[in-house]
Amino acid sequence: MKNKIILFDLDGTLIDSTEAILESFSVAFQAFGDEVPNDELIKAEIGHPLDVMFSTLGVKENQVWEYVNAYKMHYRKIFLSKTILLPNAREAVKLASRYAILGVVTTKTAKYSIELLENMQLMEYFEVLIGREDVMYPKPHPEPIQKALAKLPKVTKEVWMIGDTCMDMLSASSANVYSVGLTCGYSTMESLKKCTDNIYQDAFEAVQFIAKR
């Protein structure tokens, strides 16, 4: 009997799509004749919705969605070939599936996320996937987690959110669920310490920790 729920973030938690993201941002900025921001500036924003990322990187509000569309036009051509699983991610999902009901909560587009996980032969382990288009308010708002939980059976023990940024942790806290931060993604140990007490190197270590609770 599975008596826990584990929700996973994607980028920086289970997958590494940095190459596809950086290339697509570069193409989008070049399409409008703009200078491409430094890679580190872009990576610092990964985890936010695309419109927020472009806005933070200096795109005017009335042009943001044009840049998002340019990004997506390129991303959909390359995302399968230029995204890889993070070390121990497959093992983490398989172990978690033995004792917990699993879901994905991401700010990526759900359509692309499902295709990625199907391509990696992992989608079968997840009973729900909530993407950017499924919510009005993305992480760090609690809505994505709340929406995922509404689609899953009730459990007798804890609900956990595993992610690599404080946005994941804050969303979990607001939704009254437990959280684990990972250092294998886009945040530092120092920043994660500000928003969760549970920090591990990767998803497999996190899943092992939750199993012992």
Task: Give φ, ψ of 62 to 5 degrees.
Answer: -75, -5
CATH 3.40.50.1000 residue ranges of the chain are 4-16+84-211
Please give the CATH topology (third level) of the domain spanning 18-78: DNA polymerase; domain 1 (1.10.150)
Q: What percent of the chain has pLDDT over 70?
A: 100
Q: Please, how many CA atoms are within 13 Å of residue 142, restricted to the half-sphere of its CB?
A: 11
User: In whole angstroms, what is the distance from residue 22 CA to residue 26 CA?
Assistant: 6
Note the CATH architecture for domain 4-16+84-211. Answer: 3-Layer(aba) Sandwich (3.40)
Give the residue range(s) of CATH 1.10.150.240 domains in the chain.
18-78
Q: What is the pLDDT of residue 156?
A: 85
State the average pLDDT over residues 40-45: 95
| Average pLDDT for 18-22 | 97
Tell me the whole-structure pTM to 2 decimals.
0.94
